[in-house]
Each structure stands twice: as C-alpha cells, then as structure tokens.
Amino acid sequence: MGEVSSEHLGDSFREWIPAGWPARSLEECEAILCAPGARFEYETIDIRGVPTRVWKNAPENLAVLARIGRSHGDATFLIYEEERVSYEAWFRAVAAFGRHLQSLGVQKGDRVALAMRNLPEWPVAFFAAVTIGAICVPLNAWWTGPELAYGLAHSGAKVLVCDGERLDRVLPHRAELPDLAHVIVSRRDDLPAGVTTLESVIGASSNWGALPDQDLPDVVIAADDDATILYTSGTTGNPKGALGTHRNFVTNIFSSAYGAARQVLRRGEALPDPARKVLLTVIPLFHATACSATMMGAIAAGHTMIFMYKWEPEKAFQIIEREKVNSTGGVPTIAWQLLEHPAREKYDLSSLEAIGYGGAPSAPDLVRKIREVFGALPANGWGMTETTATVTGLSAEDYLNRPTSCGPPVAVAQLKVLDEEGNPLPPGQIGELYANGPMIVKGYWNNPEATAATFIDGWVRTGDLAWIDEEGFCYIADRAKDIVIRGGENIYSSEVENVLYDHPAVMDAAVVGIPHRTLGEEPAAVVHLTPGQSATEVELQDWVRARLAAFKVPVRILFLTETLPRNANGKILKKDLKALFD
C-alpha cells in the first residue's frame, strides 16, 4: 500500500534526551520485566482456541480487582466537586448495589446499562454489575434519545442506571424497550412513574461508608466470561457492541504499568517503589480509555480519580493546584487548552508529572510544548474499543525521540501490517494494522457477520493504515475506515451522510474530516441538492443536530451544483472534497 522512510522527527527534541539514552533496548527491557517470577511475567494459554500470551499475575476477574481496591481502605478513591469517597466506602456501595441488582432478578449474563456523566455513582454501578456476573453496558452519555434507545434495545438491557439528563432522553422511548424492566436514576429530585432512585438503595456518596460491612455476592466468574458491551459506531448501519471480557479489563492494569516500567529501564534507572498518584480524569468513563486503561490501573494501585461536572480549563487549573494532581489528559484537545489558556500562569501546576492522550491525531509540536511549559512528560498510545484500549504505549524520552509514533506494543500484544491481499509487509511499508493479545474483545454482540469480518484467528482488523519501524515502533498513517475523530470521539461518515440523505432537498452528500488545531479534526459536509429544492447550511446543520449527538454535526457544509466526484467504481473521491475546505 505504500512505503515510508523510517526516519522520525526526534532530532528537534534532543536537548531533553540524556546522553547515552536508551540504556536498554526494548528486548532487554522485556527480558528483565517479564522474567520468570517477575511482576510482568507472562504465559501462553488457550483463549477461544487461540494460543494467547497473558499477564500471569493479573487478577482473575473484576471482582478480585474490586477486593484489591478495598484493601486501600480509607485512601481517597473518588473526588467530585465537594464530595470525597474512600475505597472502603466505594466497595461497600458496590456490594450493596450488587445485592440490590440480584434482588431485581439480575442474573449472570443479564445486561445492566449505565448512562451518566462522570459521577461517583458510575464506578459503583459498573462494578456492582460486573461483580455479580452481569454484563455492564456503558452508553455514550452524549447520545440523543433515539441513540440511547438503540443501545438499550440492541443490548437487551434489563436495568438502566442513569442520571437525570439521560433519563429525560430515554423516557420518551420507554415503550420501545420491552426488555427494560427497571430504571434507576441518580441525583434526580422529581421522580417519574416507574423509576426508582439509586439513593434509595445506597444513599448519597457521603453515606456510603456507613453501609453494611459485607463482601461482594458470591458468584463464580471466569476470566473469559462476558463483562461489558461498549458501543462503537459502524462504518455502515447502526453502532456495534464490542463484547469485552473480565480478562480484557484486568489486562490493562499490567499493560499500563508495563509501559511505565519499560520507560524507567530505557532510562537506565531502577524501578521505583509503588506510589499513589492523583489523576484528573476528564475523558468520559463510557470510553475504554477512561474505564479500562485509566480506572482499572487506578483501583489496583490505589490512585485518586477526580471527576469534573464539565470540562473547563480554569476549573481544571484550580483542581490541579488544590489536589496536587500528578496526571491528566485524555485527548490532544485537553492538552492544548491547558497549554494555551490565558489563566494558566496564575496557578501552581508544578505537581503535573505527565499529560497523556490518544484517540485523535496530535501534532509533534504538542510534545514540545508539554515539556517546555509544564516540565511534564508527554504520553501517547494506541488502542480502540475492540482492543479494550491499550495495545501500544509511548512516553518520556521515547516519545520525544519519536513524536509521530504511537509506540511499540506491550509485551503480551503483537502487531502486524498486511497488504490488500493479506500478505505480511516488512518494516517501513504501509498496510492495514492487525493486533492480537488478551485485550482483544470476543466480537460484536449479536452480529456474527461483522464479528467474522473483523476478528480473525485471534487478530482484530483495526481499519487503521500503519507502518512499523525496525525496532517495533508503530506509526498510524491513515484510516482505512471512513471515520472522523473529533477530540477523541469517533464520527463515522456514513452515519451523518445517511441523516443528510434523509433531508428532502439533499440528493448527494459526503462527510469528510477537516483539520482542527486542538480537536484534531472536525466533520464537514459537501452536498448536492435535488433540482428545484433548496436548503441552507444552518438548516441542514439543525436537521443533523435534531437526529444525532451534537459532536457529529458538520461544522461547515459546502454546496456543489453538480453531483459529487466519483471514481470508476462509483465511490466518492473524498480526498478531492477535502481540498474544497482549504
């Protein structure tokens, strides 16, 4: 599919890379960290008929992880506004709510949907569901009512746990959801008929520590039992539900820690003793990045997670200063806003050690500015919903040395690049990226056709076009899927195009991504109107806004007097259309 140079842009960052670095190769680091008896030892086991490398010391399931979390006792787990929740209080709430779900008839394999902003109740509801063997279905909190209703109907959710905003969106569709037996809302004063409150079961967060001292319900859960359904929009048709397992989620605990340990060894330093950190978590928990890559490791290590009602840079500065936050990020947009906000210099942000991001294109200049302005180390990585987040990781000197890479895979993962005929490509050549490892989900919920096309002998077809250099560092070159990534949110062009086509004045439509400095890219549309019909840009934007989440609305719409350009196969030439927005 193409060939690229293996050169990178690290020369401009040399002043931050110490002499003699790297002290060890990637292979040497793996040999040390993964040696027999070492913390990151791995073994090969059979998962669904495929020999798969797994972390030997990972918890068996998420119930085991929850009990590890309880061992942190009075250490602060969650901070939200003025609320503070200890690990012990959170665990008691999980145990109590898990038993309540069982009293409602929720059994192993039943689906419990979760639709709310980042609130202390979110980790309670998630772990209450998965620790009784149910399948938690975190729904995109930005979705409209019809989108939420689709997720509830498609997953066959028996219970919905939500906040007031999501409740208002779902209630008009309740009659369309025969499987939805119970709706439980948090932080809602006026209570519609047929809805109960979460507080009536576990009380407010300030009272969770006074709940009964009891263990989790006794349920047998295997590592490869179903745990979650995370929805990822399809390139055609409705969203697909990625069916994740307990192993998928506990894998990230060790994958994230391995990446950090590898970087220390690359520097030639001794591994430090474990230390609790404070994390400002601003990416939504319904994303695999926040739920899996961040929260699982935080619970294992006893870190503090801080949630915000709404992302506001200056409010974030206040929190970082007050709580001595060590790490934040999520997507490049957030990093840019922290860097460029005029109020930044008013606050003491010296506690920041790392600003990490992924999920959207980022400029190499962002790497430099994070280091220059904050003195913090940038971090990046690659993963997707189908990989339960982390497959590769990149930070510190490796990132400064390769600012256009997303890093090498963690020790239990493998990457390969294939051409259009399915043949392996050598280093430096671009093809479709495939990944395997214990983080790959089982498949798509109730969608055997898409599962068969995407998951092949333990490998997931990522849809990303990439190349790998001689040392194993991966570089994402482009996307094979027709997708726009706006600030970390996936927007599949066909979904927006289908809505535009439904407008009576639209004959032809195409959605493309146009560059945006902080969001990475934004959706834009080119349309050709039906002869004799008329529509304005604002009219079509309002049409989309009424039917899809706000982040999917095209920021610009151009009108062509002719039908859109196509190739010999009838496919719209989107590269030509992008040039219209320059």
Out of 123-127, 187-191, 370-374, which region has the weakest mean confidence (pLDDT)?
370-374
In Å, what is the CA distance from 468 to each residue of 229, 539, 554?
Answer: 30, 45, 33
Q: What's the rounded Cα separation, in Å, for the pair 220 and 246?
A: 12
A 10 A CB-CB count for 506 gives 22
- Give yes or no for a contact between 294 and 281, defined as CB atoms under 8 angstroms apart: yes
Res 362: pLDDT: 60
How does DSSP assign 181-224, residue by residue?
-EEEEES-SS--TTEEESHHHH--GGGGGGS-----------TT
- Give yes or no for a contact between 258 and 33, defined as CB atoms under 8 angstroms apart: yes
Q: Answer yes or no: is pLDDT of 568 > 60.
A: no
Out of 150-164, 427-441, 513-527, which region has the weakest mean confidence (pLDDT)?
513-527
A 10 A CB-CB count for 203 gives 15
Strand order in the sheet with 327-330: 83-86, 76-80, 304-307, 278-280, 327-330, 354-357, 377-384, 389-395
Res 386: pLDDT: 96
> Which has more pLDDT, 521 or 99?
99
Residue 265 phi/psi, 5° resolution? -65, -35
Q: Which helix (H) or strand (E) holds 103?
A: helix 87-103
Res 9: pLDDT: 46
In the chain, the amino acid numbered 489 is E
Res 233: pLDDT: 64
Rounded to an integer, the average pLDDT of 453-466 is: 93
Res 488: pLDDT: 79
A 10 A CB-CB count for 346 gives 12
- Which ranges of 268-395 does DSSP label H, i.e. alpha helix? 288, 297-301, 313-323, 332-340, 364-369
Q: What's the rounded Cα separation, in Å, for the pair 371 and 354?
A: 9
Burial class (CB in 10 A: 0-12, 13-18, 19+), 452: exposed
Q: Please count the residues of the chain.
A: 582
Query: Can you tell me which residue has the tokens 């999980």?
Result: 94
Residue 310 CB contacts under 8 Å (≥ 6 apart), including other chains = none
Q: Answer yes or no: is pLDDT of 86 > 60.
A: yes
Angle between helices 493-501 and 537-545 (to 10 degrees): 110
Q: What are the structural domains, with CATH classification, of the chain?
A: 10-58+242-479 (3.40.50.12780), 62-221 (3.40.50.980), 483-581 (3.30.300.30)
> Which has more pLDDT, 61 or 401?
61
- Give yes or no for a contact between 145 and 160, defined as CB atoms under 8 angstroms apart: no
Tens of pLDDT, residues 97-111: 999 999 999 999 999
Res 538: pLDDT: 97
pTM beyond 0.95, yes or no: no
